[in-house]
Amino acid sequence: MTTNVMIVGVGGQGSLLASKLLGHVALSKGLDVKVSEVHGMSQRGGSVVTYVRFGDKVYSPIIDKGEADYVISFELLEAARQMPFLKPGGQVVVNSQQIDPMPVITGAMTYPEGLIDKMKASGANVDAFDALSIAREAGSIKAANIVLMARFSKYFKDITEEEWLASLEACVPAKFLELNKKAFELGRNA
């Protein structure tokens, strides 16, 4: 069995660290892991998607239509966009923040309303919460990525909090470790 996790958001929100953490945890459990990222132009404020796959043996580095078990999203609209990739009944863990994309900024379109209900109607389980406020409480809004991963970590009963924190220690530069640990603990217990 392969577990497929998509980590999505807007370029610059810190999805690379989130995927690094999840990849590290899976590797430490002795699983085969593949992580696929997007670099370059799409990072400039566009939609970004990172795929993390782990299991006994993983071949493809990407997650395709109807294959995702989880969508972790830094932003509401970006979560809604991934419905075609989510398995029916799959889990969405989403930061309820809204960031206007350029078509909304220019007034060509409006930011859609009721996205959480729309995702539920589409067949997803949705866990939406305000990761930004928790990150601010931990000391920096930049730690929202770790808050989100902490919330997501609760869905894995066989990975302990200590194992997550050990991987966090391995993935985060020492000077930001305390902040990120605090963000993880607040996120996990929120």
Partner 1 sequence: MNYIMKELMLGNKAFARGLYEAGTSVASSYPGTPSTEVTEELAKYDEVYCEWAPNEKVALEVAFGASLAGKRSFCAMKHVGLNVAADPLYTISYTGVNAGLIICVADDPGMHSSQNEQDSRHHAIASKVPMLEPSDSSEALEYAKLAYQISEEYDTPVIMKMCTRVAHSQSIVETSERVVPDVKPYEKNIAKYVMMPGFAKKRHPFVEERTKKLIEYADTAPINRIEWGDKKLGIICSSTCYQYAKEVYGDSASILKLGMTNPLPVKKIKDFANEVDKLIVLEELDPIIEDHCKALGIELTGKDVLPMIDEFSQSLIAEKLGLEAKETCTPIDNLPNRPPVMCAGCPHRGMFYTLTKNKVTVLGDIGCYTLGAVAPLNAIEMTACMGASVSSIHGFNKALGKDSEGRTVAVIGDSTFMHSGMTGLANIAYNQSNSTVIILDNSITGMTGHQQNPTTGYNIKGDPAGKIDLEALCRAMGYNRVTVVDPYDLEQCDKVVKEELAADEPSVIISRRPCALLKYVKHNPPLKVNPDKCKSCKACMKIGCPALSFKDGKAFVDSTQCVGCDVCSQLCRFDAFEKGGVN
Interacting residues toward partner 1 by CB under 8 A: 10-12, 23-24, 27, 32-47, 58-62, 64-67, 77-78, 80-81, 83-88, 90, 99-112, 115, 118-119, 121-124, 141
Whose Cβ is closer to partner 1: residue 61's or residue 189's?
Answer: 61
Whose Cβ is closer to partner 1: residue 121's or residue 178's?
Answer: 121
CA distance 125 to 148: 16
Q: How far is the CB of 178 from partner 1 (least distance, A)?
A: 20
Cβ atoms of 52 and 71 within 8 Å: the answer is no
Q: b/e string for 72-96 if b means 16 or more Cβ within 10 A?
A: bbbbbbbbbbbbebbeeebbbbbbb
CA distance 123 to 142: 31
Q: How far is the CB of 124 from partner 1 (least distance, A)?
A: 5
Residue 157, helix vs strand vs coil: coil
Whose Cβ is closer to partner 1: residue 64's or residue 169's?
Answer: 64
Whose Cβ is closer to partner 1: residue 4's or residue 189's?
Answer: 4
Q: How far is the CB of 57 from partner 1 (least distance, A)?
A: 9
